[in-house]
Structure 1
Amino acid sequence: MYHKIMVPVDLQMQPMVENSLNVATDLATLYGASITLVSITPSVVATGATTPEQAADELKEMAAAHARKSGLSVVAHHMTTPDVPAELDTMLLKAVDAVEADLVVVASHEPGRADYISASHAGRLATFAKVAVLVVR
């Protein structure tokens, strides 16, 4: 049913990512699918912050470690943008097309008051993606 599963990864939020990655792993195992980890980081960084190259390397290592652990095909797809908060939703939708995903498994937080005014990134992805989106809490 699914062939390519995309998992958005915020490298700063490992526990939430772990939950969505576990679900994606179960589904990939069930359907014989591959997993693509996607991260989006700033293209311009402040002094002392993680560079785009360092973030890409960290994502590649995460993918390689998960591939060894799960026995699945897991690859990394890193993207940059000057303004991550403003562009994240658009970049995630572009990533769906770029990696040719047919399912996105994305972590999300429990909704708070602000989410009733403006949807979360996972909510926007689920609303606007042309493929199935599974939101994991």
Structure 2
Amino acid sequence: MFGLIMVPVDLEREESLGLALSCAADLARIHNSKVCYVGATMSAPTTLGHTPAEYEKKLVDFTEGQANQYGHAVSHKMMIAHDPTTDIDDVLLKAVKETGADLVVMATHKPGVADYIWPSNGGRVASHADASVFLVRS
């Protein structure tokens, strides 16, 4: 049913991804799907790397760790954003198209007051992506 599952990952907040990662792994096993982990960084230095190449190494290590833990086929995609905090929705929508994902499994938060004014990242991706989107509240 699903050939490629895209999972956006924020490597600075790995601890909040657990439920979404296990959901994606379960779906990959059930559907014999590949999982593509997508991370976004800037071209300027960040806490995760002085260069995009350093960030990509951490994304590759994360991706390989997921493959070892869950046993599914994996790939990764690094996206460059001017400011990942404000550009992440557009970056993720672009990644859905570029990867050809037919399902996005995405961690999200419990809605709060601000979500009535500004849509969550997951809500925007779900509203605009061509792929199915599974939002997992942690």
TMscore range, shorter length: over 0.9
Alpha-carbon distance in structure 2 between the residues aligned to 1:10 and 1:107: 10
Alpha-carbon distance in structure 1 between the residues aligned to 2:101 and 2:48: 30
Task: Work out the percentage of aligned pairs sharing the same amino acid.
Answer: 37
Tell me which amino acid in the other structure corresponds to 1:67. A
Question: 1:43 Cα shift?
Answer: 1.5
Aligned to 1:136: 136
Deviations 1:19-40 (A, max 9, x none): 1110000000000000000001
Question: 1:85 Cα shift?
Answer: 2.1
Q: How does 1:29-44 map to 2 (within 5 A)?
A: 29-44=29-44
Alpha-carbon distance in structure 2 between the residues aligned to 1:31 and 1:81: 31
Aligned to 1:98: 98
Q: How does 1:50-65 map to 2 (within 5 A)?
A: 50-51=49-50, 52-65=52-65
Cα 1:49–1:99, aligned 2, differ >3 Å: closer, same or farther?
A: closer
Q: Secondary structure at the match of 2:2?
A: coil
Q: Structure 2-normalised TM-score?
A: 0.93
Cα 1:49–1:130, aligned 2, differ >3 Å: closer, same or farther?
A: closer
Q: Secondary structure at the match of 1:14?
A: helix
Question: 1:69 Cα shift?
Answer: 2.0
CA RMSD of aligned residues (A): 1.3
Tell me which amino acid in the other structure corresponds to 1:120. S
Unaligned residue ranges in structure 2 (runs of 5+): none
Alpha-carbon distance in structure 2 between the residues aligned to 1:83 and 1:111: 23
Alpha-carbon distance in structure 2 between the residues aligned to 1:84 and 1:62: 19
Deviations 1:79-114 (A, max 9, x none): 112221221111100000111100000000111111
Cα 1:14–1:49, aligned 2, differ >3 Å: closer, same or farther?
A: closer
Q: Structure 1-normalised TM-score?
A: 0.93
Q: Please say if 1:84 is aligned against 2:84.
A: yes
Question: 1:49 Cα shift?
Answer: 6.0
